Copies of this chain bind each other. A is one copy, B any other.
Amino acid sequence: MTVTIKDVAREANVSVATVSRALNGQHNVAEAVRRRVQVVAERLRYIPHHAARSLSSRRTRTIGVVLPEVHGEFFSELMFGIDQVAREHGLHLLVSSYHGDPREQGDALRSMRGRVDGLLVMSPYDDVDGHLADALAMLPNAVLISSHLSLPGKCRIGIDNHAGARAMVAHLVALGHERIAFVSGPQGNHEAEERLRGYRDGLAELLPRSAPWVLQGDFHEGSGERAVQSLLAGPSLPDAVFAANDMMALGCLSAFSAAGLTVPVDIALAGFDDIPLARHVPPGLTTMRVDIAALGADAMRRLLAPVGDGQSDDGLRQPQLVVRASTGMARVSPDSS
Contact = CB atoms under 8 A, between A and B. Distances in A.
B51 A115 contact: yes
Given A51-B60, A92-B96, A93-B96, A250 B75 contact: no
B45 A51 contact: no
B76 A113 contact: no
Interface residues of A, number: 49
A54 interface: yes
A196 interface: no
Interface in A111-127: 111, 113-115
B80 A49 contact: no
A232 interface: no
Given A76-B71, A280-B250, A138 B94 contact: no
Interface of A: 2, 45, 47-55, 60, 62, 70-73, 75-77, 79-80, 83, 92-97, 110-111, 113-115, 138, 221, 250-251, 253-254, 257, 276-277, 279-284
A257 B282 contact: yes
B50 A114 contact: yes
Contacts of A114: 47-53
B254 A138 contact: no
Contact of A113 (B50, B62, B115, B251): B50
Given A50-B115, A80-B70, A254 B282 contact: yes
A276 to B, nearest CB: 7
B281 A138 contact: no
A257 B283 contact: yes
Contacts of A71: 76-77, 80
B72 A76 contact: yes
Contacts of A48: 113-114
Nearest to A111: B92
A277 B277 CA distance: 9
Residue of A72, A95, A110 contacting most chain B CB atoms (<10 Å): A95
17 contacts: A45-B138, A47-B110, A48-B113, A49-B113, A50-B111, A50-B115, A52-B114, A53-B114, A55-B55, A70-B76, A70-B80, A72-B73, A92-B94, A250-B281, A251-B280, A254-B282, A254-B284
Contacts of A51: 50-52, 54-55, 60, 114-115
Contacts of A257: 282-283
Nearest to A281: B281
